[in-house]
Amino acid sequence: MELPYAEPYKIKTVESIHRSTPEQRKQWIREARYNLFYLDSDQVYIDLLTDSGTGSMSQKQWSAIMSGDEAYAGSRSFIELRETIRELTGFQHVLPTHQGRAAENVLFSTTVKAGDVLPGNAHFDTTKGHIEFRNARAIDCTIDEASRTDLYHPFKGNVDIAKLEQALATYGRDKIPMVIVTITCNSTGGQPVSMENLKQVREFSLQHNIPVFFDSARFAENAYFIKTREEGYAGKEIREIVREMFSYADGMTMSSKKDGLVNIGGFLAMHDHELYRSASHFNIMFEGFLSYGGMAGRDMAALSVGLMEATTFEFLESRIRQVHYLGEKLKAYGIPIQEPFGGHAIFVDAKKFLPEVPKEEYTGQTLAIELYLEGGIRGVEIGTLLADRDPDTRENRYPELELVRLAIPRRVYTRSHMDYIAATLKNVYDRRDRITRGYRILDEAPFMRHFTVELQPL
Ligand code: F0G
C-alpha cells in the first residue's frame, strides 16, 4: 500500500494538558465575563486562540538559545540574525523589535500622519489600530471574492488593483505614505497573495511612487501556497520564492511569533537608508538599542534558526497539511467553513453555523463560547467584536464575515487533537437549532475592545 503522510519530526519534550467537566467550564467562562481572553490557560484543553508565539521550538533552536550573545551593543546574535534576514529577504537594514505591532509602531511613527490613508488587503487589527491611533485610515482593497466563504479562489488575499487606483483618485498621492500587503492575509482567513498580484501592486507603486511594505508574519506560508497553487512555481525552492516575493516590496514588518518559529520577537526591515535612520530613533525610544530592540540575544539566536526552518518545504508541508486535515474533517461533517482553507487556521462561518443568532448579539463570539463549553477548546471571534466601532460614528462595524478562527500552533498538537476538535464542533453543530440568542456588551475599551470586553448572555 502507499505509505501515508507523517510528520517530519518526533517529540522530545511534552507538556501536560487537562480536560475539564462541562460544569467547570460553565463556571469558568462566567467568571471570565464570557471573554475567552480572560480564561486561564489551565482552564483550556486545546488552545486555538492563536498561532502567535505558541509554537514549539526545535532542538536546534534550543541549542541556539544557549549560545545567544547578550551584549547590549553589537550582539553577535543580532549580526547573525541580520545576515539571515538579508539572505532571505534582500533587505539590508534590520531593526529588531519585541513583536510585530512594535515594528508597526516604529514604522508608522516615522511615516504616518493624521489624515493619511494606507490602502492594502485587509489589514490586521494591530496594524489598523496603529493607523487609526494616528488619526489615519486603513483602506481595505481586498478582492471581493475574499468575503464569499463558499467560493473557491486560490489567492483570496489578493489586492484589487482597481480599488488601489480608486483610493489614489479619492485621496491623492500625498495622503498615501505606503501600501501595505499582508502575506498571508490574516483578516480574510489566512489567505495567500499570489506572486502575480504582488507584481501588480509593485507596478502600481512604481508608477505612482508610493512605497510598498509587506506585513510578513506568515510570509513562509504564503510562499508555500505560491509553490503549490501558482503556475510556474512548483519547481522552485521556498527560499527562491520568498526572495522573489520580497523583491516587490520596499520593506517589511514582521511578527516573528508566527513564521519565525519563536515565542516572542519581531523586526522591521527595509532598503532605504534614510528611512532606516529616522526609524532608528523611534526604535531606540520605544524598543531598545539597534542591536536588540526588545529582544534578548538568545531569542534572536533562536529566531535566526527558526526563520531558516520555516522556509523549508518539509516544515511547511507538515504545517499546512495539519491545518487542512482539520478542515477536511469539518467539511465532511457539513460544518460551514471558509474555503480554500487558510494557512494557519480554519475559519468557521458563524453566520451560517448559527443563523438564528443576530449579528447584533455577536454571532461569532456566541459560537466561540459554545465550542469552549462543549469541549474546552478556545478559538477566537473574528467578527463584530474584533471589527470594533467606527472611529467617527462610534457605531458597531458589522463585517461581511462573522467567523470563529481555530488557529493551529506550529508543531504543537497531534492528529488526535485535530480529531477531538472536529468532534467538538460536530457536537455543537448537531445542537445548533437550540442556540438562538447571543450576548450583550457590559463594558468595552475605546479601541481593540475584543481583548478586554465584558459580556452578558441574553
Ligand atoms: N500582522 C499580522 C498579519 C498578524 O497576524 C499579527 C498578529 C500582527 C501583525 C501583530 O504581531 O502579535 O507580534 O504584535 N497576529 C496574532 C494573531 C496576534 O493571533 O493572529 P504581534
What does the pLDDT look like over 422-448, one tens digit per residue? 999 999 999 999 999 999 999 998 878
To test the pocket of ligand 1, the residue of 126, 221, 261 to mutate (highest count of ligand atoms within 8 Å of its CB) is 126
Write down the pLDDT at residue 390: 85
Residue 283 has which C-alpha cell?
A: 526604535
CB 213 within 8 A of CB 176: no
SS3 (DSSP) at 3: coil
- Please, which pLDDT band fits residue 340 given cuts at 50, 70 and 90? very high
* Residue 187: pLDDT over 90: no
Q: For residue 207, how far is its CA from the centre of ligand 1 (angstroms)?
A: 30
Residue 413 has which C-alpha cell?
A: 498538537
Which homologous superfamily is 22-51+313-457 in? Aspartate Aminotransferase, domain 1 (3.90.1150.10)
Q: For residue 169, how far is its CA from the centre of ligand 1 (angstroms)?
A: 30
Ligand 1, atom 12: nearest CA belongs to which residue?
100
Percent of the chain at pLDDT exceeding 90:
92
Ligand 1, atom 11: nearest CA belongs to which residue?
100
Write down the pLDDT at residue 310: 98
pLDDT, tens digit, 9 for 90 and up, residues 361-408 = 999 999 999 999 999 999 999 999 998 888 788 899 998 889 999 999
* Residue 7: pLDDT over 80: yes
Percent of the chain at pLDDT exceeding 70:
100
Write down the pLDDT at residue 401: 84
Q: Mean pLDDT across the stretch 257-262?
A: 98
Residue 347 has which C-alpha cell?
A: 475559519
Residue 196 has which C-alpha cell?
A: 502575480
Identified catalytic residue from 9, 37, 72, 398: 72
> Catalytic annotation on 124?
yes
Exposure of 425 in the CB half-sphere (CA atoms within 13 A): 31
Identified catalytic residue from 108, 124, 372, 429: 124
Ligand 1 site, residue 214, Cβ cutoff 6 A: no
* Residue 150: pLDDT over 80: no
CB within 8 Å of 145: residues ≥ 6 apart? 151, 153, 156
Ligand 1 site, residue 126, Cβ cutoff 6 A: yes
Q: Mean pLDDT across the stretch 160-176?
A: 97
pLDDT, tens digit, 9 for 90 and up, residues 226-236 = 999 999 999 99
Closest CA to 326 of 426, 258, 238: 426
Which residue in this structure is represented by grid cell 519534550? 13
Write down the pLDDT at residue 183: 97
Ligand 1, atom 8: nearest CA belongs to which residue?
100
* Residue 254: pLDDT over 90: yes
- Please, which pLDDT band fits residue 213 given cuts at 50, 70 and 90? very high
* Residue 189: pLDDT over 90: no
- Looking only at the bridges linking them, the beta strands covering 439-443 and 454-457 are antiparallel
Residue 358 has which C-alpha cell?
A: 443576530
Could you say which DSSP state residue 185 is in? Answer: B
SS3 (DSSP) at 68: coil
Residue 9 has which C-alpha cell?
A: 519530526
Q: Tell me how far apart the alpha carbons of residues 73 and 325 are, in angstroms, rounded to a whole number.
A: 45
- Looking only at the bridges linking them, the beta strands covering 137-140 and 117-120 are parallel
Q: Tell me how far apart the alpha carbons of residues 283 and 265 are, in angstroms, rounded to a whole number.
A: 14
> Catalytic annotation on 125?
yes
Boundaries of every domain in the chain: 22-51+313-457, 59-310
Ligand 1 atom with the shortest distance to the CA of 257: 13
Q: Tell me how far apart the alpha carbons of residues 63 and 58 are, in angstroms, rounded to a whole number.
A: 9
* Residue 1: pLDDT over 90: yes
Whole-prediction pTM: 0.95
Ligand 1, atom 21: nearest CA belongs to which residue?
100
* Residue 220: pLDDT over 80: yes
Write down the pLDDT at residue 380: 96
> Catalytic annotation on 72?
yes
Write down the pLDDT at residue 151: 85
Ligand 1 site, residue 182, Cβ cutoff 6 A: yes
Ligand 1 site, residue 222, Cβ cutoff 6 A: no
From the options 3.40.640.10, 2.30.29.30, 3.40.50.10190, 2.70.150.10, give the CATH code of 59-310. Answer: 3.40.640.10
Write down the pLDDT at residue 180: 98
To test the pocket of ligand 1, the residue of 52, 108, 347, 406 to mutate (highest count of ligand atoms within 8 Å of its CB) is 52
To test the pocket of ligand 1, the residue of 37, 50, 123, 124 to mutate (highest count of ligand atoms within 8 Å of its CB) is 124
Ligand 1 site, residue 50, Cβ cutoff 6 A: yes
Write down the pLDDT at residue 387: 86
Write down the pLDDT at residue 10: 96
Identified catalytic residue from 217, 269, 296, 407: 217
Amino acid (one-letter) located at 118: L
- Please, which pLDDT band fits residue 261 given cuts at 50, 70 and 90? very high
Write down the pLDDT at residue 388: 87
Ligand 1 site, residue 266, Cβ cutoff 6 A: yes
Write down the pLDDT at residue 81: 98
Q: Mean pLDDT across the stretch 314-329?
A: 98
Angle at which helix 76-89 crosses helix 238-246, to 10 degrees, equals 90
Q: Mean pLDDT across the stretch 224-253?
A: 98
